[in-house]
Each structure stands twice: as C-alpha cells, then as structure tokens.
Amino acid sequence: MTRKTSTGSTHSGESEIALALAELAAIRADMVSDLALSQPHLERIHPNYLHSARNLLHYLSLRRRDLRPLQLRLAALGLSSLGRAEAHVLATVDEVLSVLNRLDQRACPAVGKETEVIDFSHGERLLADHTNALLGEADAGRKVRIMVTMPSEAADDYLLVHTLLQQGMDCMRINCAHDDTTAWARMIAHLRQAEQSLGRSCRVVMDLAGPKLRTGPLEPGPAVVRIHPVRDVYGRVSAPARVWLSADPVLYAPPTPASACLPVSAAWLAQLQVGEGLSFIDARGAKRGLKIVDVTADGCWAETGKTAYFVPGTVLLREQARSRHGKDQPDMHECSIGDLPAGETVISLQQSDLLILTRDLEPGRAATYDSAGHLLTPATIGCSIPQVFDDVQAGQPIWFDDGKIGGVVEKIEAERVRVRITQDHLNPVKLRADKGINLPESKLQLAAMSDKDIEDLAFVAQHADIVELSFANCGQDVESLQQRLQALGGNQPAIVLKIETRRGFENLPDMLLTAMRAPSCGVMIARGDLAVECGFERLAEVQEEILWICEAAHVPVIWATQVLETLAREGQPSRAEITDAAMGRRAECVMLNKGPYIVSAVRVLDDILRRMQAHQAKKSAMLRELHLAHGLPGLDTAAGFD
C-alpha cells in the first residue's frame, strides 16, 4: 500500500513536470514568434534601448495570458514561478525550462537558444544605466532619487533652493502651468549657484501644462468681507480680529497677515491715532467698533473682539474727531470704505442635481429656486476646451475637481451638455471655477500639447534636462514632441511620459516604444488624474502594471502625486503617507509637491528611502535581519531596533 502511494505520488509528480514543461515550452515559442512580428517596431529603436525593447515585447507576449495556474504548478515543484521575470524575461523562462528538462525523465528536444538574451545581471544593469542617464548618478546609500516641485518663491529665494539641494533633492521640477520664463530662469540660476556651492549636481525637469480640462468662470459674488475674532472653548475671545486700513491695500499690503484689508481715504487715514476708536454699522445692521492699535507710514492696524461684515460704502466714524494739532475737523469725522473684491461664487451640488456645461466661457451661476424650493434654473458653468463636447456621448461618466464630484452625461445639445450628478454625499459639495474635469470613457481628440506648451517649448529645450509630456495618450503624442524638439535643435532634453489618463495607461507599450527611439526616456505615474480616470479602487492595480511594464522596458519610473502631502503643507505626515512614501522605493524616483514644509518633507523622504533600501528592491523583499528585541530562545540572532 505504501509503495502504491509512493508510486502514485511519483507518477503524479512526473505528470506535473510534463504538463509544466509542455505549457512553458509553448509559451516560449509564442514569445519568439511574437517578437518576429514586431520587428518593424525595433527598427527605429535607439541602440541604447534595443535590448530593452526586445525584452519589453517578450514580456508583453508572456503576459497576454493568465499565468496563475502555471505559477502554482511551478511553485509546487519548488521552481521559480516567473514572478520576478520583468527585467530578464526570456532568460527566466529558459532557466525554468532547463530545470524542467532535467527533472523530466523523458527525452525532450533541447530548447532553442536566442541570440542576445538579457540575463539576470544584464537586465538590472540596463535599468541602472538608463536611470543614471535620465536622473543623474545616485546618492550614496539611496538609489531612489528625489524630485521636488518648485514653489513660486524659489525664483526669489536662493536659500530655499540651496537647502533643498543640501537635504537631498536630485531633480528640480518646474511646472510650466505656473509663473513665467523670467521666474523659471531665476529658479535655474539659483540651482546652478547651489550646485557649485555644495558640489552636488541636480537635473532640471520642466513639466508642460498640457490641455487641462477645467471649469469656466462663475459670476462674481457679493463684495462682502467678514471678520471674526478667535475664541476659546468657552466662547471667550483669545485673539481679536485684525484689520488693515490703507489708502491702497494692494500697493501698501499689510506687513503681517490680516483678517481684512479695507481701503479708506488717505486724508482721513492720516488723522488716525493710536488708541482712537472707530464705530460703524455693519452689513447686517449690527453696531460695531474698531480700536486703532498701530499707525505706520503705509496704513493703520485696528482690532475688534466681535464679528463684523463690511461692504463698499460702510461708514467708519471717528469717536474723537481731533487732529494731531487738537483742532476739530468735522470734514474728517467719517470715511466710507472703498471698493472691495467680489466674493467667490460656488455651485452647491448633491445627488440627482442637474448641471449644465456650456460651450461658451460666459460666467456661470448657481441654480435658482422659487419660494417653495422648486428648481427654476439649473446651475451652469463653462468648459475651458469646449471642443471636447464633440467627443462625448450620453451615458458616459464625468468627474469634477479631482474626482470629488461625479456625474453622468445625460444629454448632448448643440451648445451645452446636461450632466446629472450621481455621486452621493452627506452634505452638498461645492463646485468652483477653474477645477479639473475628467471624462475617462470619452475618446477625446485632444493633442497632448496646447498652444502655450508649444510656446514654452523654446525655453524648455534650451534650459531643461528633462521635459515632461502631460496627458500623453498615444505614440503620436510622443512623436509630435520629439519632432518639435528636433526642429528646435541643440541639446535634446529627455522625454518623461506622464501617465494620467486611461488611454495613456492602455497605450503605454506603444508610447514606450516611441519614446525609446531617443537615447533616454522615463515615465511618471501621475496618480492624481490617473485615479479619477481609472477609478480610485483600481489605482493600486494600475500603478503596479505600470511599474512592471516599465521594468520590462528598463525605463525609470517617477512615483508622483500626494507623496507626504500633509507633511509638506501642514508639517505633520499621516501614517498612510509614510507607508505610501515607503512604497516609492519600487520606483527610481519619488516626486514631492510644494508646500510650506517642503524642506522637512525632503528630509523625511530621504530617511524613509534610505531605510527601505535594505528591505525592498522592486517586487523582491530583501531578507535582512529582523529588528526584534530577542531572537530564538537561547540564541542571540536578532539585531535591536535602529
């Protein structure tokens, strides 16, 4: 009985080996034949990427089938399950086939050997070489580079740029959607000065804005300024509201933050003295007062411990109408507040509401209702690129403001699109002007570069090491940028493809093969728009696939959007952000966005990446010693926490 069980197990093992061998041999044959069919793509590949392009095509062939049953069979035999084949696909398959052939007791034909197969060390070396070419040499102890988006202040603050470089910035990113060529040139000049001072090098990355779909303007709201003091939990005033009075609050801006800036007559302002009181009736009809606490050449500071509402024409009365010479001046007793900026208008939306998107960019408006609460006129708002209406169909989803507001296209009309809000919120959500619009299922016929991008490209080509192509959707978009750069001549900046749309993700292999016609290229996972386009629940899956495909192409990846965002903006990271930043170790570069605490964010990210280098390399866990207080009982085998 024992012998039969043993024999049965042996026969079962031999059967599993034979099945795995036959299946993997068939897969390999398909990989070789598929590569032959793709030969036209390889003819235009730059020599730097020829081996990588072949490996990418092998990987795409391997992954066009469900490998999970084969993986389980191989794992049960104690063999590689092909889970780390990205950088050296054919070599991995050949090694597993070689072992299976040795295990199989039948005579099997030898597997044909292809020329120029990328072995295990060669694949890793190619990715490292391509990363160095694109992003510069790695810092000691940290292979993953750090990219930092410059705030506008970097144009005038050399010390900020110097400190960022000192803390570990490897790539300076300039977003061409903000500032202008004069500011960009100053940022770059500061970087070059800091490089010389610190003896470190840093790549200049310039991001073309792209054809960003946004909501149009809204009608201006009422010109009302509200001020209120800070109160403690008992409702007592802990800090008064501070008002800056000036003849021109724009020309003479307050030296420190103010609750409100009010324009008043220069002659009346000149009579004010410290300690003097001002009274007024605010927009609600409430009697209020201000006390002058400081007088300067540019304006006066006043305080109040009560909430107040100011509108143009609000009259301020001096409670003691005395000049500095002690004479009464009745004509200087009062002053009316001048023009105030219009308030922001918002559109409040909730589930089942109707929103009208218009082709024109006339200011939109919120919905109006009758006294019984019945809708009179639905809310309307324009679209920054109205030609997309020609590519939209009824029933397709639409998202606003980075996915915060979701709806469905209900009807297409000549000059407008009717949208029904479908996303449910506990409270109405507010849609503002200049917020992003995403149409993930619409095949938009938009070029990746706008007229502004083409205009900016002359500066970018002259000053940047890398140009980022926003909203890249197909190989033609990449080729168009390549042609424009070639026409400009000079040193050609490397192209980084920003993957932020569903079409861009689906067409990534074609875009990579086009980008690989140049000596250097990269990919950015722009997770903000990508999450909206593909669905937030799919983002983790999509970013994994992008990482795998790019590793197969030996193309460096930039991990971007909201990395340590709370830390950069508020000074304290969330726990989830720390984990997300650590996941960036699987890419070749991590991007940080701007914020008041960006220097701290760079320092923390540098520390995280250095620590994670001992634990993670792409998809492989690095089995360093565990950080436990005690190892096995009786054995001192574990290191303490460091």
Per-residue pLDDT at 423: 87
Residue 62 has pLDDT above 90, yes or no: yes
Choose which CATH entry (3.20.20.60, 3.30.70.580, 3.90.190.20, 3.90.1170.40) describes domain 127-211+446-614.
3.20.20.60
Q: Is residue 202 a contact partner of residue 195, using CB atoms and an 8 Å limit? A: yes
Residue 8 has pLDDT above 60, yes or no: no
- Using pLDDT thresholds of 50, 70 and 90, give the confidence band for residue 4: very low
The Cα–Cα gap between 331 and 26 comes to 98
Per-residue pLDDT at 2: 39
Per-residue pLDDT at 632: 59
Average pLDDT, the chain: 90
The Cα–Cα gap between 504 and 515 comes to 13
Give 540-568 pLDDT, tens digit per residue.
Answer: 999 999 999 999 999 999 999 999 999 99
Residue 637 has pLDDT above 60, yes or no: no
Q: For 254-267, what is the mean pLDDT?
A: 95
Residue 335 has pLDDT above 70, yes or no: yes
Per-residue pLDDT at 448: 87
Per-residue pLDDT at 634: 56
Q: Which of 51-55, 319-323, 567-571 has the lowest mean pLDDT?
A: 319-323
Q: Is residue 212 a contact partner of residue 177, using CB atoms and an 8 Å limit? A: yes
End-to-end CA gap in the chain? 56
Higher pLDDT, 250 or 513: 513
Per-residue pLDDT at 6: 44
The Cα–Cα gap between 286 and 511 comes to 64
- Using pLDDT thresholds of 50, 70 and 90, give the confidence band for residue 619: confident
Q: Which of 148-157, 417-426, 555-564, 622-631 has the lowest mean pLDDT?
A: 622-631
Nearest to 19 by CA among 70, 63, 67: 70
The Cα–Cα gap between 601 and 380 comes to 40
Range 347-438: architecture per CATH: Beta Barrel (2.40)
Per-residue pLDDT at 1: 38
Give 213-226 pLDDT, tens digit per residue.
Answer: 999 999 999 999 99
Q: For 1-13, what is the mean pLDDT?
A: 48
In the three-class reduction of DSSP (H, G, I as helix; E, B as strand; rest coil), residue 455 is classed as helix
Per-residue pLDDT at 111: 55
The Cα–Cα gap between 192 and 184 comes to 13
Measured N-to-C along each axis, helices 508-515 and 539-552 cross at an angle, to the nearest 10 degrees, of 30
Residues counted in the chain: 642
The Cα–Cα gap between 392 and 213 comes to 13
Scan for tokens 């793709």, then name that residue: 38
For 247-378, strand residue ranges (E) read 260-263, 277-281, 287-295, 300-304, 308-310, 315-318, 334-336, 347-349, 354-358, 368-369, 375-377
Higher pLDDT, 23 or 635: 23
Per-residue pLDDT at 635: 53
Give 575-596 pLDDT, tens digit per residue.
Answer: 999 999 999 999 999 999 999 9
Task: Tell the CATH topology of 225-336.
Answer: M1 Pyruvate Kinase; Domain 3 (2.40.33)
Per-residue pLDDT at 323: 45
Written as one string, the DSSP assignment of 298-315 is S-EEEEESS-EEE-TTPE
State how far Cα 463 lies from the chain centre.
23
Q: Do domains 225-336 and 347-438 have the same CATH topology?
A: yes
Per-residue pLDDT at 242: 97
The Cα–Cα gap between 550 and 625 comes to 30
CA of 406: how far to CAs of 372, 399, 533, 609, in Å?
27, 5, 12, 36
Taking residue 413's Cβ as centre, other Cβ atoms within 10 Å add up to: 12
Give 174-201 pLDDT, tens digit per residue.
Answer: 999 999 999 999 999 999 999 999 999 9
Residue 3 has pLDDT above 50, yes or no: no
User: Which residues, listed in sequence order, are joined to residue 243 by a DSSP beta bridge?
Assistant: 260, 302
Number of alpha carbons in the 13 Å side-chain half-sphere of residue 71: 11
For 179-333, strand residue ranges (E) read 203-207, 225-227, 230-231, 237-239, 241-246, 260-263, 277-281, 287-295, 300-304, 308-310, 315-318
Percent of the chain with pLDDT over 70: 91
Give 402-434 pLDDT, tens digit per residue.
Answer: 899 999 999 999 899 999 999 888 889 999 999
State how far Cα 204 lies from the chain centre.
18
Per-residue pLDDT at 307: 97
Number of alpha carbons in the 13 Å side-chain half-sphere of residue 453: 22
The Cα–Cα gap between 528 and 550 comes to 19
Give 373-389 pLDDT, tens digit per residue.
Answer: 899 999 999 999 999 99
In the three-class reduction of DSSP (H, G, I as helix; E, B as strand; rest coil), residue 46 is classed as coil
Percent of the chain with pLDDT over 90: 78
The Cα–Cα gap between 594 and 351 comes to 34
Per-residue pLDDT at 431: 96
Specify the pTM.
0.84
Domain residue ranges of the chain, discontinuous segments joined by +: 2-118, 127-211+446-614, 225-336, 347-438
Residue 521 has pLDDT above 60, yes or no: yes
